[in-house]
Amino acid sequence: MPQPSPSSRPPLWPWLLPGVAALLLVAAGAWLFWTQLRSPPSVTYAQFQTLLDGGQVSRVVVREITATVDLREPARPATVRVRLPSSLAAPDSSLITELETQNVDYRFEAPSQWLGILLNVLPIILLIGIPVFFLTILLLWLLRRRSPPGNLSER
């Protein structure tokens, strides 16, 4: 079978955007799966109280209404998450006293601001990005229409 000449081959650039989009979707799916796989299991507040009363808690980090709890060895899993019953900084007035009584290292962290920043910047990015994307497609289409057949792949 004769080898097709370079000018008779179909161009590969129309497959570039769908290929990159497919790779990005696969990467995003893998990242979401991996983060879900690595997140610590959740326990109820009653189970957390039982662990605390049993002296199995070594450290508690509270962020908003969720606490990440590190357990003492040889517990499995070593880290669990618990949803606190209130959105106050100290959801249970006796909780801090009990943590101090059990010699548990505890810390309250401010919530991350990245989600708020992203939600504020995303409309601006979309308002600029979508027109730029379509203008680029229009420019490529106009360049392809102006050039004689076979010259676009040589550029």
Give 15-47 pLDDT, tens digit per residue: 888 888 899 999 998 888 887 777 788 889 889
| Residue segments in the chain with a per-residue pLDDT below the cut of 70 | 1-8, 87-93, 149-155
User: Is 81 among the domain residues?
Assistant: yes
Which residue range forms the structural domain that includes residue 139?
112-146
Check residue 88 and give its pLDDT: 54
Instruction: Kindly calculate the radius of gyration of the chain based on its CA atoms and give it in whole angstroms.
Output: 28
If 0-12 CB within 10 Å is exposed, 13-18 middle and 19+ buried, where does residue 69 land?
A: buried
Establish if 151 belongs to a structural domain. no
Whether residue 43 is found in the same domain as residue 64: yes
Whether residues 127 and 94 share a domain: the answer is: no
Supply the pLDDT for residue 95: 80
pTM for this prediction: 0.53
pLDDT for the residue numbered 120: 92
Given this model, what pLDDT does residue 137 score?
92
Burial-class residue 136 by CB neighbours within 10 Å (0-12, 13-18, 19+). Answer: exposed
